[in-house]
Amino acid sequence: MFKKDLRRWLLAMLSMLVVGSAVVAAEKPNVVILATGGTIAGAGADATNSATYQAAKVPVDKLIAGIPQLKTIAEVRGEQVFQIASESFTNDNLVTLGKRVAALVKQGDVDGVVITHGTDTLEETAYFLNLVVRTDKPIVLVGSMRPGTAMSADGMLNLYNAVSVAASKDARGKGVLVTMNDEINSGRDVSKMVNLRTEAFKSPWGALGMVVEGKNYWFRLPAKRHTNNSEFDIEKIDTLPSVEIAYGSGNASDTAYRAFAAKGAKAIIHAGTGNGSVSSAVVPSLQELRGKGIQIIRSSHVNAGGFVLRNAEQPDDKYDWVVAHDLNPQKARILAAVALSKTQDSKELQRIFWEY
């Protein structure tokens, strides 16, 4: 009798352990990794090649398989959306990726999305998604400055951290994030400030937080409108209008501005010096182009923290121009393209630049 009771007890304990393990497994968050190529999927000829390599070579399944520790923090699956170097990212690529992310975050079995991306235009894609995907679920972009074949490769830890952040409940509602070099930055603010080194991505206003050994530490929150609070929706955007960037400098001419206008640009971002300054040789042409319906948006190419004040340097009210606030030229291009899908009114565009 005693042996039978002991056996029943042992079977009951074993059953509880099995059920308990299943519950723990079921409670692990589900993260989808969308791969688009870039250095994080790159390969060099030798372990010493940290700057000379071919980008977009390694498929997403291999990236995931190379980090078995991912299984301890989330149920992870991958999709290969593109396999390209990010300098070749087009508006059509942005829209395709945005629609896929939006579809995934609507699924009950997806708790977060990670996007592996080349670093050259990672900040542009992050900001685009921040504007057009309506969700409070974490969306995290990640790349690497060195290929996985290099002895100093940073992609493995970057991707582990990105999945950890995407799987975290405390990352919800903070907009699209960029996780690299142990930092968590807002996709709205962050930019690639330096090449060749792993600490390449910085925000002029500071990181939102850090991730250390799978744990998030937050220091500030985004102040601008994003994701769930955005008036834009990727489901209503199928194409983006042409917006071009013309670089201001000493001895600048109007050649680039006129060429972009002739090619059908709906807006031109003036990447000006200092406070978005415009050369006296260029001002008349920009006035003329604005008169033809092309939006003129003054930005600054100051590397970290360029801030353009309205009606400073140029009489924006008089010329009916828009200022980009603190957005760098490439981010201003993204916002202008998204905004122009909704309005052509310059006053509305200026409101949008203040709010986003």
Q: Is 273 a catalytic residue?
A: no
DSSP tag of 243: E
DSSP of 126-182: HHHHHHH---SS-EEEE--SS-TTSTT--HHHHHHHHHHHHT-GGGTTS-EEEEETT
Active site residue 36: no
Let me know how long the chain is: 356
Q: Are 155 and 124 in contact (CB under 8 A)?
A: no
The dihedral built from the CA positions of residue 70, 184, 329 and 261, taken in this order, carries a sign that is positive
Choose the catalytic residue: 119, 125, 135, 149: 119
36, 39, 149, 198: the catalytic one is: 39
- Letter string b/e over residues 219-251, b meaning 16 or more CB atoms within 10 A of that residue's CB: eeebebbbbeebebebeebeebbbbbbbebeee
Task: Answer positive or negative: Cα dihedral of 54, 59, 63, 68.
Answer: negative
Annotated catalytic residues are 39, 119
